[in-house]
Amino acid sequence: MENDYRRMKTVLTHTGKIYVDTEHRLEFLTVGDYGKENNIKADFLGLTKEINGVANTEVDLSKKWVATISTQKGCPMECKFCDVPKFGFHGNVSIEEMEWQIRNIIKNETVRNTDRFNVHFARMGEPTWNDNVLAFGIVLKEVVKSCGLIAKTVHPVVSTMLPRANRKLENFIQTWCGIKNDFYGGEAGLQFSINSTNDEQRRELFDNKSHSLATISEMASRLPMPKGRKYTLNFPVTAQTILDAKELSRLFDKEKFIVKITPIHETASAVENGFEVTGYSDYNVYRQFEQPLLEEGWDVIVFVPSKEEDADRITCGNALISEEKI
């Protein structure tokens, strides 16, 4: 694959680049970060300022560099807020293709030293369907180094919507926890896309393809205690989101998990399915969810993207390739 760029398109954004490779049915991206003091509220980290809008400013890849790659060519899931299923499903991404995405991301930038290089397995696909993710997690540090990038920290992150048809789901998650805790010494992430504490609402959001909350809770109870950062319960919220802090406390262990709140992004699918996208400039949207969680004793991160990031479609749930002719 190394020299085949015939049909790869590079889309410049305010904070990075999106690569759309129709030849290999891949999409991946590189972005910088505005800095956690500008786009995150997390009282437990000492970041207590409410985020009423995020200004678009210059980003510095030498401080924090985020690469988001695809683990599948399209996605077999049918999440109602995500554009990736519009592209269909064309199989799993190989280890070679994951490496190819990382090499393209690094070689097309001039930065060769960074404090932190995050790799999110999150652009297209449900990573737990692809065991190549586990194998690539083991070689990722060496791949980054071989590309000429010196990173003080390499931090891979797996996000899953917990597909109930995947009989190997728990084995995948347990294996990833071992990679996170042992191979990376805690410097890796695991995110569960929970999105609601109401099973009926979750069935609607995930097209009835995610496990029930009770089953997820049972799997979570069997996870090892995390080293480094805790595991994450992710809630992309809308005005309709049901997030019951007491119910969450009943289901999950605060010693193992933190809660992350973000806005649901303004994808074509989110708009088509009537989700009320809000929260880019008014913290009241988040406070109604955050405050009961804090009162319950949860560690909470509220992450707010800029309007430019959402308009550029670098955010989760977007897929420019879904509009391309293959």
In a domain, 2, yes or no: no
Which of 238 and 2 is assigned the larger pLDDT?
A: 238
In a domain, 1, yes or no: no
Please, what is the Cα angle at 159 between 157 and 162, to 5 degrees?
145
Query: Nearest CA to 100 among 136, 64, 62?
Result: 136
Whether the per-residue pLDDT at 1 is higher than 80: the answer is no
Burial class of residue 80, CB neighbours in 10 A (0-12, 13-18, 19+): middle
In a domain, 208, yes or no: yes
For residue 59, the enclosing domain spans: 8-323
For the segment 278-324, what is each residue's pLDDT rounded down to a tens digit?
767 889 889 999 999 999 999 999 999 998 998 999 999 999 999 87
Task: Work out the average pLDDT over 227-235.
Answer: 97
Total tally of structural domains belonging to the chain: 1
Three-class SS of residue 259? strand
For the segment 16-60, what is each residue's pLDDT rounded down to a tens digit?
999 999 999 999 999 999 999 999 999 999 999 999 999 999 999
In a domain, 59, yes or no: yes
In a domain, 33, yes or no: yes
In a domain, 68, yes or no: yes
Q: Model-level pTM?
A: 0.96
The token pair at 266 is 């303004």
CATH number at residue 135: 3.20.20.70
Query: Nearest CA to 133 among 122, 121, 146, 123?
Result: 121
In a domain, 41, yes or no: yes
pLDDT-above-70 percentage for the chain:
97
In a domain, 3, yes or no: no
Average pLDDT, the chain: 95
Range in 67-76, 131-140, 282-291 with the lowest mean pLDDT? 282-291
Amino acid 6: pLDDT: 52
Amino acid 93: pLDDT: 98
